[in-house]
Amino acid sequence: MTSVTNLGFPRIGARRELKRALESHWRGETDAAQLQATAAGLRARHWKLQREAGVDLPPSNDFSLYDHVLDTAFLFDAIPERYRALAERDPLAAYFAMARGLQKPGIDLHALEMTKWFDTNYHYLVPELHAGQRFALRGDKPLAEYREARALGIETRPVLLGPVSFLLLSKTTDGSHPLDLLDALLPVYVQLLTALKDAGAQWVQLDEPVLVQDLDDAARAAFERAYAHLAEAPHPDILLATYFGALDDNLALAAALPVQGLHVDLVRAPEQLDAVLRALPAGRVLSLGLVDGRNIWRNPLDNALILARYARGHRGDGPLWLAPSCSLLHCPVDLTLEKKLDAELRGWLAFSRQKLDELRLLADALDGHAGTEAALAQAREAVEARRRSPRVHNAAVKARVAALTAADATRATPHAQRLPLQAAALRLPPFPTTTIGSFPQTLEVREARARNKAGKLADADYEAFLERQTEQCVREQERIGLDVLVHGEFERNDMVEYFGEQLDGFAFTGNGWVQSYGSRCVKPPVIYGDVSRPAPMTVRWSQYAQSLTDKPMKGMLTGPVTVLQWSFVRDDQERAQTCRQIALALRDEVNDLEAAGIAAIQIDEPALREGLPLRRAQWPAYLGWAVEAFRISASGVGDATQIHTHMCYAQFNDIIDSVAALDADVISIETSRSRMELLDAFARFDYPNQVGPGVYDIHSPRVPDRSEMVDLLRKAAEVLPARKLWVNPDCGLKTRGWAETRAALTALVEAAREMRGEAVAA
- The annotated binding site for L-methionine is made up of 436-438, 489, 604
Give yes or no for residue 436 binding ligand GLN (CB under 6 A).
yes
Q: What is the DSSP string of 224-244?
A: HHHHHHHHHS---EEEEE--S
Interface with ligand GLN (CB under 6 A), residue from 117, 473, 732, 747: 732
Give yes or no for residue 438 binding ligand GLN (CB under 6 A).
yes
Q: One-letter amino acid identity for 146?
A: Y
Give yes or no for residue 592 binding ligand GLN (CB under 6 A).
no
Inter-helix orientation angle 352-366/301-315, to 10°: 50
Inter-helix orientation angle 575-595/395-402, to 10°: 90
Give yes or no for residue 698 binding Zn ion (CB under 5 A).
no
Interface with Zn ion (CB under 5 A), residue from 127, 289, 606, 692: 606
Give yes or no for residue 466 binding Zn ion (CB under 5 A).
no
Choose one: 172-180, 195-203, 269-277, 729-737; the region binding ligand GLN (CB under 6 A). 729-737
Task: Please tell me the distance from the alpha carbon of residue 498 to that of residue 506, in angstroms, as a whole number.
Answer: 11
Question: How many chain residues touch ligand GLN (CB under 6 A)?
Answer: 13
Give yes or no for residue 699 binding ligand GLN (CB under 6 A).
no
Give the nearer residue to ligand GLN in terms of CB position, either 357 or 730.
730
Interface with ligand GLN (CB under 6 A), residue from 69, 253, 335, 556: 556
Choose one: 13-21, 286-294, 339-347, 725-733; the region binding Zn ion (CB under 5 A). 725-733
Task: Please tell me the distance from the alpha carbon of residue 322 to that of residue 366, in angstroms, as a whole number.
Answer: 10
Give yes or no for residue 286 binding Zn ion (CB under 5 A).
no
CA angle 141, 12, 332 (to 5 degrees): 130
| DSSP one-letter code for 365 | H
Q: Order of strands across the sheet with 642-647?
A: 554-558, 600-604, 642-647, 666-669, 690-693
102-123 burial: b if 16+ Cβ within 10 Å, else e: bbeeeeebbbbbbbbbbbbbbb
Residues that constitute the known binding site for L-homocysteine: 436-438, 489, 604
Work out what residue 438 binds among ligand GLN, Zn ion, none; the CB cut-off runs from 5 to 8 Å by kind: ligand GLN
Task: Please tell me the distance from the alpha carbon of residue 57 to that of residue 152, in angstroms, as a whole number.
Answer: 14
Residue 323 host element (H or E): strand 320-324
Residues numbered 317-376 forming contacts with Zn ion, rule: CB under 5 A: none
Interface with ligand GLN (CB under 6 A), residue from 127, 437, 488, 505: 437
Q: Which residue is nearest to ligand GLN (CB)?
A: 732
| Closest among 211, 408, 243, 411 to 323, alpha carbons compared | 243
Give the nearer residue to Zn ion in terms of CB position, either 7 or 731.
731
| Closest among 638, 540, 543, 536 to 597, alpha carbons compared | 543
Give the nearer residue to ligand GLN in terms of CB position, either 260 or 493.
493
Give the nearer residue to ligand GLN in terms of CB position, either 57 or 557.
557
Give the nearer residue to ligand GLN in terms of CB position, either 731 or 745.
731
Work out what residue 663 binds among Zn ion, ligand GLN, none; the CB cut-off runs from 5 to 8 Å by kind: none
Residues numbered 641-670 forming contacts with Zn ion, rule: CB under 5 A: 648
Q: Tell how far CA 573 is from the center of its chain.
A: 23
Question: Count H helices, E strands: the chain?
Answer: 28, 24
Ramachandran area for residue 505 (φ above 0: left; ψ -120 to 50: alpha; else beta): left
Give yes or no for residue 648 binding ligand GLN (CB under 6 A).
yes
Phi first, then psi, for residue 302 (nearest 5°) are: -60, -40
Task: Please tell me the distance from the alpha carbon of residue 152 to that of residue 150, in angstroms, as a whole number.
Answer: 5
Whether 699 is a known active-site residue: answer yes
Label residue 157 exposed, middle or buried (CB < 10 Å: 0-12, 13-18, 19+).
buried
Task: Please tell me the distance from the alpha carbon of residue 186 to that of residue 176, in angstroms, as a whole number.
Answer: 18
Q: Tell how far CA 675 is from the center of its chain.
A: 22
Work out what residue 560 binds among ligand GLN, Zn ion, none; the CB cut-off runs from 5 to 8 Å by kind: none
Interface with ligand GLN (CB under 6 A), residue from 273, 401, 495, 564: 495
Residues 6+ apart with CB under 8 A from 305: 362, 365, 366, 376
Q: One-letter amino acid identity for 73?
A: A
Q: How many CB atoms lie within 10 A of CB 317?
A: 7
Interface with Zn ion (CB under 5 A), residue from 193, 331, 557, 731: 731
Using DSSP, state whether 607 is helix, strand or coil.
Answer: coil
| Closest among 649, 710, 714, 660 to 682, alpha carbons compared | 660
Interface with ligand GLN (CB under 6 A), residue from 298, 355, 646, 699: 646
Q: One-letter amino acid identity for 376?
A: L
Residues that constitute the known binding site: 16-19, 116, 121, 436-438, 489, 520-521, 566, 604, 610, 646, 648, 670, 731
What is the closest distance, in whole angstroms, from the C-beta atom of residue 601 to ligand GLN in the complex?
Answer: 12
Whether 522 contacts 388, CB under 8 Å: no
Task: Please tell me the distance from the alpha carbon of residue 721 to that of residue 683, in angstroms, as a whole number.
Answer: 9
Q: Compute CA distances 387 → 345, 396, 572, 595, whole Å.
A: 12, 18, 8, 39
Give yes or no for residue 469 binding ligand GLN (CB under 6 A).
no
Give the nearer residue to ligand GLN in terms of CB position, either 50 or 438.
438
Interface with ligand GLN (CB under 6 A), residue from 606, 692, 693, 694: 606
Work out what residue 69 binds among ligand GLN, Zn ion, none; the CB cut-off runs from 5 to 8 Å by kind: none
Mark residues 553-592: x for contact with Zn ion by CB under 5 A, - for none.
----------------------------------------
Give yes or no for residue 610 binding ligand GLN (CB under 6 A).
no
Label residue 206 exposed, middle or buried (CB < 10 Å: 0-12, 13-18, 19+).
buried
Give yes or no for residue 473 binding ligand GLN (CB under 6 A).
no
Give yes or no for residue 603 binding Zn ion (CB under 5 A).
no
What is the closest distance, in whole angstroms, from the C-beta atom of residue 518 to Zn ion in the complex?
Answer: 16
Work out what residue 162 binds among Zn ion, ligand GLN, none; the CB cut-off runs from 5 to 8 Å by kind: none
Task: Please tell me the distance from the alpha carbon of residue 252 to that of residue 233, in angstroms, as a whole number.
Answer: 24
Task: Please tell me the distance from the alpha carbon of residue 229 to that of residue 227, in angstroms, as a whole number.
Answer: 5
Question: How many chain residues touch Zn ion (CB under 5 A)?
Answer: 3
Give the nearer residue to ligand GLN in terms of CB position, either 128 or 604.
604
Mark residues 37-66: x for contact with ligand GLN by CB under 6 A, - for none.
------------------------------
Choose one: 56-64, 195-203, 320-328, 431-439; the region binding ligand GLN (CB under 6 A). 431-439
Give yes or no for residue 692 binding Zn ion (CB under 5 A).
no
Give the nearer residue to Zn ion in terms of CB position, either 158 or 606.
606
Give the nearer residue to Zn ion in terms of CB position, either 304 or 731.
731
**3-class SS shares of the chain: helix, strand, coil, % to 5:** 50, 15, 35
Give yes or no for residue 678 binding Zn ion (CB under 5 A).
no
Whether 163 contacts 226, CB under 8 Å: yes
Give the nearer residue to ligand GLN in terms of CB position, either 57 or 731.
731
Give yes or no for residue 693 binding ligand GLN (CB under 6 A).
no
Interface with ligand GLN (CB under 6 A), residue from 291, 350, 731, 755: 731
Residues that constitute the known binding site for 5-methyltetrahydropteroyltri-L-glutamate: 16-19, 116, 121, 520-521, 566, 610
Work out what residue 364 binds among Zn ion, ligand GLN, none; the CB cut-off runs from 5 to 8 Å by kind: none
Q: Which residues form the interface with ligand GLN (CB under 6 A)? A: 436-438, 489, 495, 556, 604, 606, 646, 648, 731-732, 734
Active site residues: 699
